[in-house]
Amino acid sequence: MSTIIETFTSGLLVFTQPELLLYILGGLLFGMYAGAMPGISATMAISLIVSLSYNWSIYPALAVALGCYVGAVYGGSRSAILLNVPGTPAAIATAFDGYPLAKQGKAAKALGITAIQSVIGGIIGSIFLLVAAPLITRFALMFASRDYFLLALMGIMLLVSMSGGSFTKGMFSGFLGMFIGVIGMDSSTATQRFTFDNIYLMNGISSVAIIIGIFGLSESLVQMRDLRKVTVRKQDLSRIIPSFQDAFGYLRVTIESSLIGVFVGALPGTGGNIAALISYDRAKKSTKNPAVPFGEGAIEGLVASESSNNAAVGGAVIPMLTLGIPGDSATALLLACMTAHGVVTGPTLIDSQDGIFGIIVMLVLLANIFLLPVSLTGIKIFAKIVEVPKQILLPLIIVLATVGSFAAKKNIMDVYFMAGFGVLGYFLSIHSFKTGPLVLGMILSQLLELNLRRSLVAAYGSVWTLLGQMVSNTLSAVLTLVIVLVMLSQFGILKKLKSVIKKS
């Protein structure tokens, strides 16, 4: 308890430098609008900020970088809702219900709800960063390679819940994404896989190009099939700030999803995208009789995704500070920024005399608090985007998709890849295959493959030894049980067992 009080007290030093508040606001604004632009991820936005603030003093540099991180994670939801193009991978699940709401004329409502839920989730993540950083760190250290493998495998099983009820189509899309994810040079052996001696495939296919093509370009192509059938709904802009019911009526989902976001975000190599996926699936399974089905504009889906991926920010910062291990690529840049300014992360950081840990915690908390007024700016203007005639909007989306895919790596081949995956997504969509599982399968493939290899090495190359370790270890056994239950549920075996038990 005394450590918590000391951390909070040292964090109050932020208020002795009021200019830091301006730096936080500046970082938030830049990160939010950068994250809303397809192709500019949170990682890219932070890299720009870090390079700009390299010669600054430590506190302004940290304030603007952390503000940018928080803003970019939220900003990805705007393009996901309005254009069905997630600005960041963490906003993929947001598009599932956000875009249908925009098509129903409720874009402003969706944007307002995501703003409130992002703030709540971010504050919960910040509180856990303050109160339970050492405990969560010890929990994260319990995860062995086999547990990360099981976590990724569980994510793939959860893909089926977003496949419209078709197990076969969902798994096909997921495994197709995993296949795409392994294209390129093997990170362990440098062996080329499915590159066909093409140098442009050796580093794999850019995830930004895939996301923009699968979501943005394919949706544009689908709507362009017959523009006469595409209706433009008048947006309801009468209420920007959500009602009390919309903001706090789903508190169970908010808290549950935020806790998932904190713990999953604290696991190195995971991040907000996996946290949002798990939270979305959990909300879908635990919500009985939703007013609107999930995938068609369910508020619960927005709440789960946005509260979780923003809470994951606080979770991802925990291992970075306490262990010196970044939780994702964005926190890796933050770690580089701290190292460049002489901050030594690790177990001794919490007890350091200069109070830097408390200052960082306070900066994260303030960034999430300031996100509320910042996130509510420009909603009316952004919501009007959906009212633009499709004959004008769809070509603009295609232009933005082209520019965004090129801007990520300044590589013209990414534009070709984006176009190819846009066509692939178009054919998947018209044949009732969901495109979300493909993208998420691609994202999870590296985590799954790398940790499967490490697990087999730890098991001396024996699959049976690995299976024995999965059953004998408590954490591994729980994850294995969840995977088995998901599989049984998808095959309908659980329902049959319940009916048999009731009859008996």
Domain boundary assignment for the chain: 2-458, 461-504
Structure confidence at residue 25 (pLDDT): 92
**DSSP 8-class letter at 184:** E
Structure confidence at residue 406 (pLDDT): 80
The answer to whether 436 touches 94, Cβ cutoff 8 Å, is no
Amino acid at 454: R
Q: Please give the structure tokens belonging to residue 484.
A: 């088995």
**Regions in the chain scoring below 50 on pLDDT:** none
Structure confidence at residue 1 (pLDDT): 59
| 382: Cα within 13 Å, side-chain hemisphere | 26
| 410: Cα within 13 Å, side-chain hemisphere | 1
Q: How far is CA 395 from CA 207, 233, 390, 399, in A?
A: 22, 19, 8, 6
Rounded-to-integer distance, Cα 138 and Cα 29, Å: 34
Residues 6+ apart with CB under 8 A from 89: 41, 76, 207, 211, 271, 272, 273, 439, 443
Structure confidence at residue 82 (pLDDT): 80
Q: Please give the structure tokens belonging to residue 154.
A: 């569980």
Residues 6+ apart with CB under 8 A from 136: 128, 262, 263, 266, 315, 318
Residues 6+ apart with CB under 8 A from 53: 60, 61, 64, 65, 337
Rounded-to-integer distance, Cα 339 and Cα 343, Å: 5
Strands 184-185, 192-193: pairing kind? antiparallel
Secondary element (H or E) of residue 193: strand 192-193
pLDDT digits (tens, 9 = 90+) for 348-388: 676 665 677 888 888 888 999 998 888 877 776 666 665 66
Q: How far is CA 372 from CA 26, 117, 259, 262, in A?
A: 14, 10, 20, 20
